[in-house]
Every structure is written in structure tokens, then in C-alpha cells.
Amino acid sequence: MTANAPGQVCLMQGNEAIVRGALEAGINFAASYPGSPSSQVLGMLGKVAKERNFYAEWSTNETCAMEACIGASLANARALCIVKQNGLLFAADAIHCGAQHGVKGGMVIVTSDDPSAHSSTNEFDSRYQAMSANIPMLEPTSMQETKDMVPYAFELSERTHQMVIIRLTTRVCHGRGNVVLGALPEKPHQMKQVGEWDRMVCVSYLRSAMLQKMDMLRQEFENCPYNHYVGPDHPKELVVAGGTGRLYGQEAIRRLDVGDRVGLLSLGTIWPLPEKTILRHLEGVEKVLTLEEVDPVLERNLQAIAGSHQMKIVFSGREDGALPKIGELDPDNVAQAISLLTGAKLPEKKIASQEPLIERELTFCAGCPHRATFHILKKVLRQEKHPGAVIGDIGCYIMSGQAAGQYAFQACNCMGSGINLAEALGQLTHYGLDQKVVTVCGDSTFFHTILPGLVNATYHNANMLLMVLDNSATAMTGFQPHPATGITAMGDQVPAMDIQKIVEGIGCKAEIADPFDVKETEKTIRRLLNTPGMNVLIMRQPCATLMTKKKKRPVRVYVDQNVCLGDGCGCDKYCSRVWGCPGNTWDFKNNKAYIDPVTCVGCGVCAKLCPSGAIKVEGGEEA
């Protein structure tokens, strides 16, 4: 990554290409909060930050990260902020104010959208944020462009005194392609002392300056090297592509053999759009297909441009159903849409069996403490007078809404919302709502956005229980450090923050329980559910994946099939069917329980749950 080998060809992931681009741009400052699909970027930056003499941090949340980057820009530093689509929304106020006051040192935001919501709860389109805040946005169509756009964006940002957003999508972040490396600068970008009369202040009259910048950029983008056209001189049919659409489109045009009559215009400048370039290519065209990820943003803008020039063009894409309204582009739906546009057909394929195959639902890992937590919580709630109201939050434990967590929660909104939704229900228990109210959050989420909600709920004495599922990791996105881990993105050891002390510091009771100590924890939860006011229970047990990374399997857990009564037991296959750990499988030949040694990590909780005592824990102490 830090090799100064211009011209060398590497196989690079999109996330890596961003890192390399940042190094080639000589950044001074980088900040992020992990969010897939771009979670890996800051982790990689942190590892090389000292060597390349810049600062990198995992911020407590995206607003901290975004505002810190704006701060760095005041000192003429080049600052890079990396977020996912939800993170960009979370920091929306900061970018709207930032766009109005502009920047000094180059500031680039990388946002990663997640079409098909592979690792998100939604597929929001971040282009609306660029449009709404008047921030220029670029979108690469290959790994090479992904790298090259970073230094380009910094240069553009400095020239226009405006932040620049680079929009990525999952297939770019988690795709790999060949990248030709550029040179690394000897030193990072030159910073400047903040002068007494330097200003970056958001005031309303700066709106006109902001709009002038957009006009300037619109001009500039007419000649941007990231807008390409391939195809005949005056096509009747034109494909306009943004992002991943270019390569899917290019391949589909080749497979359909329509390259001599269909044009392909791909736009790397997503906002503002280069209107003159677009108009030039629309001239004489009868049909336009737009290939873009998520919403028909480009399509609607093309329609507006064509409409304002009285052009008679039939548009197709996401809007009219030529492409699906939800889900990502892929080679098949793009080829089909181009087939529809041109009438050309692909050769028929032999159709495989239509007999449905069972789906593989996501589940907690073997040995995951969350499984035990929700197992106990649901058990306790079922014994209450009324079933409780459980509010979820964002992290691995969102899977508790499915079979993995016994369909634990009734509501889950955005990250950090659980405490606030629950606070309302907790207040309503003072007004006749006769129900126990519980919400959960992870340790990283606790710092991200739970804290203000906890202050609110504690101050207003809501009747509720917050369970902090403290697995010592930002597990869902790949074990990034957070304030309770005692380590930073750059690898420095720092004092870890104590969640219990923080909670107690605001005047709220906080206890600690071990989810693997099934009996004691059950009693604790029952007691806290019946304690009026705001209660916090920290469920402490490290993430199973973190544990397997750190050490070899500490113990062997196995089924003594001489003791197991199989399906004649009456336990209803409790270990494999009810407990639901992927390690607890079933030996269909002997009709007895079986523990898969490949999957099991040796937490030993199932041994405590087996009514026959058939599950044995061997070697060392169980967890």
C-alpha cells in the first residue's frame, strides 16, 4: 500500500483504492465511523498513518468525524471523511452548514451506498444529500478511477473552496480490479496556521457564494476526464451510465452485439451534471436508457434537461420498470434492459430446476454471547404478566429480530434510536401502559448515539431497562476500536473508558451480568425489570469471533450420545432447535444431538441448557 512504485499494476479492492488515492493526495487528516461497505478504509489508513505522517481516527460517530474534518480544513489540511449512506445522513447538518461556509484545505467525503442492502437496513441514495447541500459529487466506474478520483477531488476541493463527495457503492468497495499506482508525495500536504481573520462560518448570505461555486463546477465538469463516450457518432439509442453501470453496460452491449448502433455515455460527475455535454449527446437520440444504482436520480435529471429543451426522447430505466426499482444493477438486469431498448436478444439458456432451494438465514456465530442474552431475555419476558416491548438497535444484535434471537424485538429504527423509542414507552408506563420496556445496544453504539438518549431517559426517569451488549468490539463491521477498547486507529494504547462508570456518572444505576451465566443473569434481568425507573444492565462477554482470533479453542464441547435421549427425550431437541447455535447440529443417522467440531467455539452454554446433561465440556474451564 505504501510502496512508491508509480506504474506498478496491483489488484486492488475499491476500499484499498481509496486508501491509496488518499496517500497519493498526501492527506493530513482522516476520520470515520465504521459502516459497511466502506468499513475497511479507515482501518487501513490507521495502519499506515504514522509511516506517512498523517492523523487517522475512528471517531465516536460520523458527525464527530465529519466536523473534525471540517476543523482540519481550517488549517489548510487535506481531510478525508469516510461514511456509509446512513452516516452521511447522520452528519447531514454538518455537511449542509459546511457547504455553505466552504472549506480551505481540501475536504473529501467518501460515502458508500449499499444497493440491495447487503449490509444495511435500507438502500438510501446519497446523491440526494449532494443535491440538497449543493456539494459536488463524483462517482467512479472502476477501481482505477476510484483511486484516481481521490487526488482529483482534493485538487477540485481546494480550487473551488468546497467539499467534494465521492460516491461509492458496494460493488466498488467490495470489488477488486487492476490499478496502476501513481507516485506518493514526499511529504503530506502543506498546512497553514489559522490566521486571525480566517473564516469558515455558516451564515445565510453565503448561500449565493455556494451557488456560484456550483455554476463554476458545472462549467468545469463539461471537460472532466471522468465523463466518457463510446459508440457511433449519431446513435438513435443511448445508454447513460453512472458508477457500476458503465462496465455492466459495456459488456451487455458487446454480448448483444449492438455496439455499432448504441452509444454509451458514462458520467463520473454526478452533481452538478454537465448539461452541455449531456445535451450534445442527446441531440438526435430517440431512446435513452439510464443505468444507475438505487433511485432514478440521473434519469429524472436527464428528463428535466431534455424537457427544458423540448427534446422528444423516450426515457427508460429505474422509473419505468426497464430496471427493477429496488436492488442493485447486475449484468443480467442490465443486459435485459439493453435488450428491451434495442430489440437485440441474447441466445437462450437452458433453464435449471425451478424447485426452490432453502435460504440460509443469517444467525449469530457459534458461541456468540448475544444468543444467550436474547435466550434469557425472552424467557424472562414470557414469564411476565404481559409480553414485554423490546426495542432493537443497529449492530450484530439486529439479527435478534429473526429466528437467531427468537424474534426478540418489535421495533428497530436507525442507529442509536432504541433508547429513545423505549424512553417514550417507558414514560407511557406512568400513564397506564402496563408492560415491561427493554432496549438493547452494543458497546460501540453506546458511544455512537445512545449516550444523549440515556441522559434524556435518566433525567426524565423513564421506566425501562437498557441492556448494553458489551462484547468488547464493533463486531458487525470488523472489530474496529471504540472508546472502551483502549486502543486507537493508529495503534496507540490509551485509557479505556468504563461504560459502567459513565452510566453511574450521569446518576443511573448500572449492573454487570454475564450472558453465559444463564441462571444468575435470568434472576438479574427479572429483578431489574421489576425495579422502577431507568435501569442499565451491561451484558459482558467478548465476541466469539474475537475470542477465536485471539486463542485456540480453549475447551472441547461434545455430546455423549449414550446419555442423549434423542427425540425421545421430550426436550424437543432443545439444543439444536430451541437454542439454535450453528454448533449444535443433529446426527440424523443416530437420531441424537451432535456438536459440529468445525463450528463450535467451546462457550459451553448448551451444556448448561441440556436437560439430560448429555453435553459435556472437556479440558479447562468452561466460559
Partner 1 sequence: MKKLKFDPLNIVICGIGGQGNVLASEVVGSAMTDRGYRVAIGETYGASQRGGSVMSHVRVSEDQELSVLIPSGEAHMIIGFEPLETLRMTRKYAGPNTTIVYDPRPVYPLGVLQGIQQYPDQEALMAEIESLSAAAYPVPAADIAMEVGDSRAANIALLGAFTQLPDAPLSREDLEKILTQRFKGAVLELNQKAFTKGCAAVNKKEA
Is 477 a binder of partner 1 (CB under 8 A)?
yes
Is 396 a binder of partner 1 (CB under 8 A)?
yes
Is 400 a binder of partner 1 (CB under 8 A)?
no
Q: Which residue's CB is nearer to partner 1, number 17 or number 133?
A: 17
CB of 365 to partner 1, least distance (A): 5
Is 345 a binder of partner 1 (CB under 8 A)?
no
Compute the distance between CA of residue 110 and CA of residue 166 in angstroms, rounded to an integer: 5
User: 458545472: which residue's cell?
Assistant: 218
Is 598 a binder of partner 1 (CB under 8 A)?
yes
CB of 570 to partner 1, least distance (A): 15
Compute the distance between CA of residue 279 and CA of residue 225 in angstroms, rounded to an integer: 18
* Binders of partner 1 in range 250-269 (CB under 8 A): 250-251, 255
Q: Which residue's CB is nearer to partner 1, number 123 or number 158?
A: 123
Is 524 a binder of partner 1 (CB under 8 A)?
no
Grid cell, residue 564, equals: 442423549
Our CA angle for 288, 291, 292, nearest 5°, is: 135
Is 597 a binder of partner 1 (CB under 8 A)?
yes
Q: Site for partner 1 (CB under 8 A): which residue of 74, 335, 341, 513?
A: 335
Q: What are the Cα distances from residue 135, in Å, to 105, 197, 301, 363?
A: 16, 25, 16, 39
CB of 475 to partner 1, least distance (A): 8
Is 29 a binder of partner 1 (CB under 8 A)?
no
Compute the distance between CA of residue 494 and CA of residue 401 in angstroms, rounded to an integer: 35
Is 362 a binder of partner 1 (CB under 8 A)?
yes
Is 358 a binder of partner 1 (CB under 8 A)?
yes
* Binders of partner 1 in range 564-583 (CB under 8 A): 573, 576-578, 580, 582
Compute the distance between CA of residue 340 and CA of residue 70 in angstroms, rounded to an integer: 46
List the x/- string, 185-224, binding to partner 1 by CB under 8 A. ----------------------------------------
Q: Computed from CA positions of residues 17, 20, 26, 31, in that sequence, does the dihedral angle turn out positive or negative?
A: positive
Is 363 a binder of partner 1 (CB under 8 A)?
yes
Is 11 a binder of partner 1 (CB under 8 A)?
yes
CB of 272 to partner 1, least distance (A): 27
* 487 phi, psi to nearest 5 deg: -140, 155
Is 557 a binder of partner 1 (CB under 8 A)?
no
Closest CA to 462 of 442, 445, 443, 437: 437
Is 561 a binder of partner 1 (CB under 8 A)?
no
Burial of 465 (0-12, 13-18, 19+ CB in 10 A): buried
Q: Which residue's CB is nearer to partner 1, number 93 or number 596?
A: 596
CB of 229 to partner 1, least distance (A): 16
Amino acid identity for residue 311 in this structure: M
Is 350 a binder of partner 1 (CB under 8 A)?
yes
Is 9 a binder of partner 1 (CB under 8 A)?
yes
CB neighbours of 167 closer than 8 A, spacing ≥ 6? Answer: 111, 112, 113, 126, 127, 130, 137, 138, 139, 243, 270
Stretch that binds partner 1, among 269-277, 377-385, 434-442, 597-605 (CB under 8 A): 597-605
End-to-end Cα spacing for the chain: 39
* Binders of partner 1 in range 421-450 (CB under 8 A): none
Strands across the sheet containing 437-442: 389-391, 437-442, 464-470, 534-540, 509-513
Grid cell, residue 218, equals: 458545472
Give 391's strand partners.
411, 439
Q: Site for partner 1 (CB under 8 A): which residue of 66, 165, 389, 404?
A: 404
* 269 phi, psi to nearest 5 deg: -95, 100
* Binders of partner 1 in range 445-474 (CB under 8 A): none
Is 592 a binder of partner 1 (CB under 8 A)?
no
CB neighbours of 350 closer than 8 A, spacing ≥ 6? Answer: none
Task: Pinpoint the alpha helices (H) of 257-296.
Answer: 275-282
Query: What is the number of alpha carbons within 13 Å of residue 277 lying toward its C-beta?
Result: 22
Q: Which residue's CB is nearer to partner 1, number 134 or number 227?
A: 227
| List of residues contacting partner 1 (CB under 8 A) | 9-11, 36, 39, 118-119, 142, 171, 174-178, 244, 247-248, 250-251, 255, 330-332, 335, 349-350, 352-353, 357-365, 396, 399, 403-404, 476-478, 545, 573, 576-578, 580, 582, 584-586, 597-599
